[in-house]
Amino acid sequence: MSVLVRTIAPPPVFSHLLRLTDHHGVFEHASFTTARREHGYCADDVARALVVVLREPVRTRSLDEAAQTYLTFLEGAVTDDGSVRNRRAVSGEWSADLSTGDCWGRTVQALGFAARAGSTRTLRHRATRVFLRATRSRTVDVRAAAFAAIGAADFLRGRADLPGPAHALLTDCLDRIPRGSAPGWAWPEPRLRYANASLCDALVYGGGVLRRVDDVREGLRMLAALLEIETGGRDHLSVTGTAGRSPGEDGPLWDQQPIEPGVIADACAHAAEVTGDASWARRVHLAWAWFLGANDGRVVMYDSATGAGHDGLEPQGRNQNCGAESTLAALGTLQHVRALPGPRR
């Protein structure tokens, strides 16, 4: 892939995210930019939000308060056996359903990051305690395993004094990620689904922490293959839509979700960190360019005035709703670009 992109990376704006946040957590959905309170909260989005607000190097009181809110939510979400209650109503009542699916994986990912990079010692200690509780469970889901692997790798980097549970979890999760090539293309699954780059990210970042060279090498190969599929000779990302993608489906495929360039940015940022190869940093710019309009619709997907991200790219343009997942994908991608070496604007 020869696409090279340099993008403008202004400081992120958190006003929309904070408008979606109350004393319980961050509301999952929005009608345009107004929180749909009746749909309540989910652990997936609160976990994403915790990572984004803790990653921001410029600390404010609002971000610190939000981090406390999000961590408190996750403390309540993780049960004694390590599974996660995903949904919570605006009243504060939790759903009865327990899961070791995506919400568990995202929660582990956020707690591992918070244990390493939390803004205070107390916050890091709280995140450590809940992370260790969450490691009592395991998942059979590939993407949940990928998310959890990234969190376990972060935990091992930050808490070398407590390696046992995180090492066991990371090893188990990495072993669940498919490798090799499926018939018809260089991706290990017969069909691309969602958050595809998270599989590569787990192998590169988790493999790097465990010094499993073969995992790192395979993760980089898969990431290069994914980017080749999702550019396909274009000058921009044409990410897989909600219906997935099989060999021979060149696209554009709709409805494209911001989580796809978001996890590509995560994976490329980690690839650049692990390998020191600047070409991966340029791929982070490619992901951010998707939000700026370098996409199949040539539509801007991020409002730089409010920090709101639009919920999807459709044939007729962008979805005008700006929910939590989309907003956090945009903000996280922007943070990655700004963290790269070189000039920023």
Same domain, 128 and 8: no
Same domain, 19 and 75: no
Cβ contact 177:146 at 8 Å = yes
* Per-residue model confidence as pLDDT tens digits over 69-103: 999 999 999 999 999 999 999 999 999 999 999 99
**Which of 122, 155, 176 marks a domain boundary?**
176
Residue 208 lies in a domain: no
Q: What's the pLDDT band for 344 if we cut at 50, 70, 90? A: low
Same domain, 30 and 63: no
Residue 280 φ then ψ, to 5°: -70, -35
Cβ contact 216:200 at 8 Å = no
Cβ contact 130:109 at 8 Å = no
Residue 47 lies in a domain: yes
Mean pLDDT over the full length of the chain = 95
Same domain, 31 and 46: no
**Per-residue pLDDT at 3 exceeds 70:** no
| pLDDT for the residue 345 | 47
Same domain, 47 and 128: yes
Can you say whether residue 123 is alpha, beta or left, with left for phi > 0 and alpha for psi between -120 and 50 degrees? alpha
Residue 184 lies in a domain: no
**Number of domains forming the structure of the chain:** 2
Given CA atoms 295, 205, 18, 30 in this order, what sign does their dihedral have? positive
**Residue 31 identity:** S
Same domain, 104 and 11: no
* Per-residue model confidence as pLDDT tens digits over 232-256: 889 999 999 999 999 999 879 999 9
Sorted by sequence, the CB contacts under 8 Å of residue 273 that are 6+ apart come out as 205
Residue 207 lies in a domain: no
* Per-residue model confidence as pLDDT tens digits over 280-329: 999 999 999 999 999 999 999 999 999 999 999 999 999 999 999 999 99
| Six-digit token string for 44 | 């997936």
Same domain, 272 and 167: no
Angle between helices 61-77 and 102-117 (to 10 degrees): 130
Q: What is the residue range of 319's domain? A: 1-35+219-345
**Which of 176, 210, 229 marks a domain boundary?**
176
Residue 229 lies in a domain: yes
**Per-residue pLDDT at 342 exceeds 80:** no
| pLDDT for the residue 251 | 78
Burial 254-273 (b: 16+ CB within 10 A, else e): bebbbbbbbbbbbbbbbbbe
Same domain, 148 and 274: no
Residue 209 lies in a domain: no
Residue 200 lies in a domain: no
Angle between helices 213-229 and 259-275 (to 10 degrees): 140
